[in-house]
Structures are given as structure tokens and as C-alpha cells.
Amino acid sequence: MHIPVLNHSRHPLPAYQTPHAAGLDLRAHLPDGPVTLGPLERQLIPTGLSLEIPVGYEAQVRPRSGLAVKHGIGLVNSPGTIDADYRGEIRVLLVNLSNEPFVVNDGERIAQLIVAKHETITWQPVEALSETQRGAGGYGSTGIG
């Protein structure tokens, strides 16, 4: 699938790092210099990228596990949703869940983008739903562990 992309950064377009990777790494676009995230601080980090995603598809912004395990860096709204009709810049809502400041440098790979199909549904209001073995059970109703 080809996706039209505007790249306002001086970084290369997101690329798959291995032949069968699902995600394309997104880089920080910080022309004015690095940004420091203090402990528990969150910031929207620009990528310099705007997309034209085909109708029927979305893009998901997901954390990178390496940054999560090594530095406690996550996404507040994980996974972020990029709508097909969004034409603005993709931004990444990073949060520092560690006790140490974390420096985000220009060009650093901060998150990953997955393009996925989605359904557009219509509602069918009813008076009752079909019965199942689970019924309304959840939240550990089958036991923990």
C-alpha cells in the first residue's frame, strides 16, 4: 500500500527495521534542540510527518519496548489513533515513567507506527443480546492465574 506523506523534518521517512516488522519507527522532529522529560512528565513530541491514510485504514502510534524497559518511556494515550481524515502533523505523547530525567534528541526513534484496517460500523439497537456461557462475567470471573 502506498501512503502519501509530507515530511517537514530533515530525517528519513520511517522505515521497517527488519523484513517482516509490523511497525515503522517514528523519529522526533526537534529542530530547536533536545527536550527533557522529567520524572512523570509528558510532552507532545512532533515528528514532522503528515499522512494521507486510505479510507478504511488507521495508523496506531505505539511505544517502543526498548525505550520502555531501559528508560521507562511510554505513551500516555497508547495506542494513539491517527484517523484517515487527519492531515495534521503526527505527534507522539511521550511520558517518562522513571525516576530519572530523559532527554529526547532530534532524530531519535521514539515510537512506532502501525497501519491497520478498521471497520466502520452502524448500530443495530435491540431489546436483548444473545446468551453465552460467559454472560456478563469478566474481570477475573474465571479465576486468577
Ligand X SMILES: O=c1ccn([C@H]2C[C@H](O)[C@@H](COP(=O)(O)OP(=O)(O)OP(=O)(O)O)O2)c(=O)[nH]1
Nearer of residues 59 and 102 to ligand X, judged by Cβ: 59
CB 15 within 8 A of CB 24: yes
Nearer of residues 94 and 102 to ligand X, judged by Cβ: 94
- 86 near ligand X, judged by CB under 6 A: yes
The residues in 92-121 that bind ligand X, with binding defined as CB under 6 A, are: 93
Partners of residue 103 on adjacent β-strands:
36
- Those residues whose C-beta lies under 8 Å from the C-beta of residue 21, and which sit 6 or more positions away, are none
The residues in 26-85 that bind ligand X, with binding defined as CB under 6 A, are: 61, 77, 80-83
- Residue 88's nearest CA partner among 80, 96, 79 is 80
Nearer of residues 53 and 102 to ligand X, judged by Cβ: 53
Residue 25 is assigned to a ligand binding site: no
Selected from 49, 90, 104, 113, the binder of ligand X by CB under 6 A is: 90
> Minimum distance between the CB of residue 76 and ligand X, rounded to whole angstroms?
9
d(CA 61, CA 25): 10
- Those residues whose C-beta lies under 8 Å from the C-beta of residue 80, and which sit 6 or more positions away, are 60, 61, 62, 92, 93
Name the DSSP letter for residue 12.
P
Q: Which residue's C-beta sits nearest to ligand X?
A: 80
Helix (H) / strand (E) containing 65: helix 65-71
Residue 66 is assigned to a ligand binding site: yes
> Minimum distance between the CB of residue 98 and ligand X, rounded to whole angstroms?
21
Residues that bind ligand X (CB under 6 A): 61, 77, 80-83, 86, 90-91, 93
Which residues belong to the annotated binding site for substrate? Answer: 64-66, 77, 81-83
